[in-house]
Amino acid sequence: MNLYKVILDSLYSLLPRQPDKSAVYSDALCAPEGDKNALLFRADTAFELGGSGKAAVESVVFGDPPQNRDEVLLYGKDLRELSDDTPFAHFTVIKLREDSDKDLRYEQLQTIAFSVFQLYPEGYHIRISPSAGREQVRVARSALEREHPLSFMNVGCSLIRLLKKHEDVESVNTVFITDQNSDYRALAELARKAKAITDTVQRTLMPDTLDCASCKMKPVCDEIEGMRELHFQKERERKRHGT
């Protein structure tokens, strides 16, 4: 999907050429599943990703990852190497199958993106605000003290497994960033733009005829290559089917 290409190009330009750690997806690497209703109190928390008012960026982007394979990438320190609240960003790059890409539906994107809310790794308590593009995570001390300490590789593989349950998903890269020197303000702006693109897709695929001159999404259509063509393509399809 080319709609998010500018986001992906900008994202990878902000990151070092090589991650500090990576892992190709393996079911054996998936984290133990926790209780979705469990609470993690601050006293039992080792640290919080995005805690203490630090950056906490989250975004789901649809497009082609650098390599067409399921992979977890980490830029910065892994969980076992952290001890204090730290800035954090998490981008999930999802490539759709070609036939799904041609028959794009907003509900399809929304359903896939909302899979992140079904992720419950044991000892890794996620709080996401999609409207704000924020993801904060409390990490339990117990998760870091067990025989096989929890790692971003475990969490990432668990998320990939969830996303791959959707038949429309071809491959997934999930990118974790804890590097203190990363430009989190720029990453947050990319997350905001990615959400604007998804919102514009929603508006574009609505069954009413759009007046581009008065549409509040016009700036996004003007900036993102392929957005106008998507709109006109769907308009032609609706007219052809009389809807």
Q: Which tens digit of pLDDT belongs to each residue from 35-92?
A: 989 899 999 999 999 999 999 999 999 998 888 899 999 999 999 999 999 999 999 9
d(CA 18, CA 158): 22
Listed in sequence order, the residues at least 6 apart from 199 whose beta carbon sits closer than 8 Å to its beta carbon are 217, 220
Residue 110's pLDDT is 79
Helix (H) or strand (E) holding 102: helix 98-102
SS3 assignment, position 16: coil
Contact between 116 and 60 under an 8 Å Cβ cutoff? The reply is yes
Residue 209's pLDDT is 47
Range 111-116, long-range pairs (CB < 8 A, 24+ positions): 111/166, 112/60, 112/163, 112/166, 112/168, 112/169, 113/60, 113/198, 115/159, 115/162, 115/163, 115/165, 115/166, 116/58, 116/60, 116/92, 116/159, 116/162
The residue ranges of the chain whose pLDDT is under 70 are 1, 99-107, 202-243
Nearest-CA neighbor of 41 among 144, 125, 134, 152? 125
Question: CATH code for 2-241?
Answer: 3.30.1650.10
Listed in sequence order, the residues at least 6 apart from 66 whose beta carbon sits closer than 8 Å to its beta carbon are 12, 173
Q: Where are the domains of the chain?
A: 2-241
Residue 74 tokens, joined:
């980490």
SS3 assignment, position 195: helix
Residue labelled with tokens 């799904």:
100
Distances from the Cα of 148 to the Cαs of 31, 32, 80, 142, 152, in angstroms? 10, 11, 10, 11, 12
Q: Note the pTM of the prediction, 2 decimals.
A: 0.84
Residue 86's pLDDT is 97
Residue 220's pLDDT is 57
